[in-house]
Amino acid sequence: MTHQALLTILALVLIPAVASADDAQQAAARMAQEHQHDKPSPTPAATQEPSHPVSAEEVTYAQVGGKPVHGYLARPKQAKGNLPALVVVHEWWGLNDNIRAMTRRLAGEGYQALAVDLYGGATADTPDAATKLMNGVLANMAPAADNLKQAVAWLKGKGATRIGVIGWCFGGGWSLQTTLLAPADVKATVIYYGHLETDPAKLAVLKTPVIGFFGADDKSIPVASVHAFEAQLKKQGTPVEVHVYDGAGHAFANPSGGSYRPEAAKDAWQRTTAFFAKYLKG
């Protein structure tokens, strides 16, 4: 695969809503630069245990294109009755062990947490492999949207009292898109360094509270676009909270990547759990 082809894929998959071809080229180049030396190599933080014991299992939560879609569901062991729920959207590496660990940690905070799979069971451990998986999503984006809409419906069927969504990088963009796809059902949206929509017409349906976490040194998600997103939501009356961390780049919260920044990740996690507690448990 040529470098130009990689940039095009990154532009259309990781950054699906840029306004023009020129913008896409520039954004894709920045994203490729951020990821070119990265790989999912776990640090000790990647295996951090949940704050409370959880149980976890593989589940089938959707049928897309006539094929079953499998995800990873975790919930508190001692919980009784219905719980608020979270849709958890993986990074460009796929639904790997890091995302499963994060899903268990989220469940330990008192949620039934469903990690979705947009890659059909595959994961990547190199940028080239991740590119190939994303190319599969690129071929037809509609199944990914259908996948996420069914995930929300599946959790509703499991008695979810309220539903939130969270995602990182590739999944951060899809976290926002999930809310735009199901604005009446999603009650809290968390975005970690994902591409942000800034078109007022597309954001008009978004009334759900949003919190976002970004790195000041992340060249793939310009801070100006973060503030433009924030300003538009404030203008239309949507509750929004944005945090930009100095000294942090893209994927700063991923404990299985080379860009991990523990202090920023810890602060973002604390704000994430407080945000979900306020809007899903309050």
Compute the average pLDDT of residues 267-278: 98
Where residue 82 sits, what CATH number does that domain have? 3.40.50.1820
101 lies in some domain: yes
Compute the average pLDDT of residues 124-140: 79
239 lies in some domain: yes
48 lies in some domain: no
Q: How does pLDDT run across 11-43, given as a tens digit for each residue? A: 433 444 333 334 433 443 355 456 566 777 766
Compute the average pLDDT of residues 146-172: 96
Torsions phi, psi of 58, nearest 5?
A: -80, 135
Range of the domain at 60: 3-36+55-281
49 lies in some domain: no
Q: How does pLDDT run across 217-237, given as a tens digit for each residue? A: 998 899 999 999 999 999 999
Please determine, for residue 148, whether its predicted confidence score (pLDDT) is greater than 80. yes
Least confident of 47-61, 126-140, 146-160, 190-204: 126-140
Half-sphere exposure for 254 (CA within 13 Å, toward CB): 32
241 lies in some domain: yes
Q: How does pLDDT run across 97-131, given as a tens digit for each residue? A: 999 999 999 999 999 999 999 999 999 988 878 87
Please determine, for residue 48, whether its predicted confidence score (pLDDT) is greater than 90. no
206 lies in some domain: yes
Compute the average pLDDT of residues 170-188: 95
46 lies in some domain: no
Half-sphere exposure for 133 (CA within 13 Å, toward CB): 23
47 lies in some domain: no
Q: With pLDDT > 70 as the criterion, what percentage of the chain qualifies?
A: 85
Q: Please tell me the total count of domains within the chain.
A: 1
Measured distance CA(57)–CA(91) in Å, rounded: 20
The pLDDT value given to residue 19: 33
